[in-house]
Amino acid sequence: MQEAVYRAIADPTRRQILDLLATGSERSVKELTAAFSISQPAISQHLLELRSARLVVARRAHRENRYRLTAEPLGQVFAWMEKYRRFVDPAGHHWAVGPSAPRADDE
């Protein structure tokens, strides 16, 4: 399963889907498709990959599936990244990890 998580988050479209679902609200395939310039079948294929990695779950609501984030599998990514934190933030601040965060040598 660990490989499935890494494979799932390697794709920028799937990461954007996770970002949309990270707001906490469930979304349908139609709602997710509206946020992209790709087809509904392509979004469904990305959702299938995310489901196989257990990063999203679907709930049937009437005639549509509603997707929500299940972030628990991302814990293994954070655990793996932990050993690299000292290169990004020697002080150990989690909030310093990111593209806009100042690096220690920038200060």
Residue 107 is predicted with a pLDDT of 46
Residues 15 and 51 in one domain: yes
Residue 105 lies in a domain: no
CA dihedral 79, 85, 88, 89 (to 10 degrees): 130
Residues 95 and 68 in one domain: no
Residue 57 lies in a domain: yes
pTM: 0.78
Residues 68 and 24 in one domain: yes
CATH label of the domain that carries residue 40: 1.10.10.10
Question: Domain span at residue 80?
Answer: 75-99
Task: Tell me the pLDDT tens digit for each residue of 36-79.
Answer: 999 999 999 999 999 999 999 999 988 999 999 998 999 989 88
- 55 in Cβ contact with 69 (< 8 Å): yes
Structure tokens, 44: 């469904």
Counting the structural domains of the chain, the total is 2
Residue 34 lies in a domain: yes
Residues 55 and 27 in one domain: yes
Rounded percentage of the chain residues whose pLDDT exceeds 90:
59
pLDDT range class, residue 85, cuts 50, 70, 90: confident
